[in-house]
Amino acid sequence: MSIEDLPASLYDAFARVGQALASPHRLRILNILSQSERSVEELATRLDQSMANTSTHLKVLKQARLVVGRRQGKHVYYGLANEATQRLWLSLRDLGLTELPEVRDLMHTYAEEPHSLSMLRTPELMERAARGEVIVLDLRSTREFETGHLPGARSIPAAELDQRIKDLPTDRTIVAYCRGPYCVTAIQGVEKMRAAGLDAHRAVDGVLEWRAAGLPIEPSDHVA
């Protein structure tokens, strides 16, 4: 290849990344994998897609070097390729929020949601959690929690909240989070907790946003 052909070859390679991102299903895969690795079967279930379609999407992402796979027994598990892929997904997501009016309109509903908190990164709230004044509640799956969670967080997967809501104290503020600002799990969980008489609020940020800000993430030591 001559030096004159270099720019065209580079842009062809960059375009493969852009093409890999040009699918709502593949973007959902990136978002899911930003929390923890998943098998093809698990991804297909989460996406409500066939195994064949999910495998095709994963192949495109893998060819663009956005995901990596590993085989364990009869299953293949996929995760994001690296932290650069995490940053790419966050940048793309935030660009859409900043520049696309329809995205801003959709998110305006979230902004008007009265029980959301955007201050989870503040040292004051973390100090209050450490003193036991505030409970930080992770509503993601156990696997996602064990992969990494916000400092001091407790785990109650959203699917178990109805059965375990009675175990939460009524004399402390509860700050719940899930998979970031675009995940409705925390909104639904907060509604249930407030209906049960708890002082519950939603944290806008999740693990991915916390990590991107350079703040510490804890590995699992227990599941409360």
Evaluate whether 177 touches 158 at the Cβ level (below 8 Å): no
Note the pLDDT of residue 220.
Answer: 63
**Token digits for 155?**
């785990």
In the chain, the N- to C-terminal Cα span, in Å, equals: 59
Note the pLDDT of residue 41.
Answer: 97
Evaluate whether 176 touches 201 at the Cβ level (below 8 Å): yes
Per-domain residue ranges of the chain? 3-86, 107-212
- Segment 105-158, tens digit of pLDDT: 887 776 556 666 655 556 677 788 888 889 999 999 999 999 999 988 999 999
Per CATH, the number for 3-86 is 1.10.10.10
- Segment 185-218, tens digit of pLDDT: 988 999 999 999 999 998 888 899 888 888 888 8
Which listed residue (129, 158, 178, 183) is catalytic? 178
Evaluate whether 139 touches 169 at the Cβ level (below 8 Å): no
- Same fold across 3-86 and 107-212: no
Note the pLDDT of residue 121.
Answer: 59
Note the pLDDT of residue 118.
Answer: 57
**Token digits for 29?**
């895969």
CATH of 107-212, picked from 3.40.640.10, 3.30.470.10, 3.40.605.10, 3.40.250.10, is 3.40.250.10
Which of residues 210 and 77 earns the better pLDDT score? 77
**Is residue 3 packed enough to be buried (19+ CB in 10 Å), middle (13-18) or exposed (0-12)?**
exposed
For residue 173, the Cα-to-chain-centroid distance in whole angstroms is: 23
d(CA 36, CA 141): 10
* Non-local CB neighbours of 137 within 8 Å, separated by 6+ positions: 153, 154, 155, 156, 168, 174, 175, 176, 177, 189
The structure's pTM equals 0.81
Phi then psi for residue 50, to 5 deg, are -70, 160
Evaluate whether 68 touches 79 at the Cβ level (below 8 Å): yes
Cross-strand bridge partners of residue 134: 173
178 is a catalytic site residue: yes
